[in-house]
Amino acid sequence: MLNAYPQSRAAAGSLAGQKWIDLVDPTGAERRAFQQAFGLRVPSKADLDEIEATSRLRVENGALYMTAPLIVAAENEPWLPSPTGFVLSKQVLMTVRSGNSAAFDDVAKDCGADPKLESTTAFVRILEALIDRLADLLEASGRDLDEASHAIFRPEHAKELARDTTMLRRLMMRTGRTSERMARIHYTLVCLDRMAKFTVDRSHEWITAEMTTRLQSVSSDIASLVQFSEGLVSRVQLLQDAATGIINIDQNDVIKVLTIASVVGIPPVLVAGIYGMNFKNIHEYDWAWGYQWGLALIVISALLPLLWFKWKDWI
């Protein structure tokens, strides 16, 4: 699908004079139409998937060719990166992407009604909208971590949480997904920052001072978001360590109970084994209170280790 902006100029049906051409899953005919109108190449899917910095940022025929993996899904959907290409020149901005994007749609509404739209203005608006969108996603990730932290560190639910391994498993999976999402957001932010700085460096001859200032502001916003995401990553590690520690403590408690039970049970078994040998010269067999004597020894031999553990404050 090919969209051209501003729409007032696009109504004529010709791409000549358009300032922003947005290609969404373009056909071969749409690619050729753009190339014929502006003499610029449309990046292929293989070009968009390149990860080298020199392949993501380059200059061809006086135009800037830039690519970035943008997160285009909604908050309740998987946050999958979608490679997106930008071709920026003084005459036109071309974007090529697959799938829908709320940020692009918002910018398209503004640009469609702007008869004085310029290519650099559309490019800067897209970057600003993408930064706002990524900021919202980071805020959503922060709220997820707040909920996980509230569940893990509430003192009144400590014992209940330690026994509920299913809840801990869900929390660890949730924080793990959040960490993966933030890694994708972080990488997208880095790519957008490179694009902004690359545009300022390579287009200073025809970009306006206002657009340069706005691109520098974009870089500043990205730097603050990167710091925020790094703080969230540290929280993820803390929460996962805390959940793992709670599981280990609960397992240690179980092992401690089993260890105490086995140690306490050894002396009574020894006493019962001695009197169970049935030798005729065991004098206690002839006592009137021999049975009670054996039971008393069993009880005392079990209580002594318990008192020892209590004295050592192990239980």
Predicted TM-score of the model (pTM): 0.74
Ranked by mean pLDDT, the top range of 16-30, 53-67, 124-138 is 124-138
Question: What does the radius of gyration of the chain's CA atoms come to, in whole angstroms?
Answer: 35
Cβ-based neighbours of 92, under 8 Å, separated by 6 or more: 18, 19, 20, 21, 38, 40, 119
Statement: residue 11 has pLDDT above 50: no
Statement: residue 160 has pLDDT above 70: no
Angle between helices 119-153 and 102-112 (to 10 degrees): 150
Statement: residue 303 has pLDDT above 80: yes
DSSP letters of 137-179?
HHHHHHHHHHHHHHHHH-GGGHHHHHH-HHHHHHHHHHHHHHH
Ranked by mean pLDDT, the top range of 25-29, 76-80, 172-176 is 25-29
**Token pair listed for 2:** 């090919």
pLDDT tens-digit profile of 199-212?
A: 999 888 888 899 99
Predicted confidence at residue 163, as pLDDT, reads 60
Say how many C-beta atoms besides its own lie within 10 A of residue 76's C-beta. 6
Predicted confidence at residue 73, as pLDDT, reads 57
pLDDT band at 234 (very low <50, low <70, confident <90, very high): confident
Predicted confidence at residue 12, as pLDDT, reads 45
Of the candidate ranges 11-25, 54-68, 127-141, 177-191, the one whose mean pLDDT is the lowest: 11-25
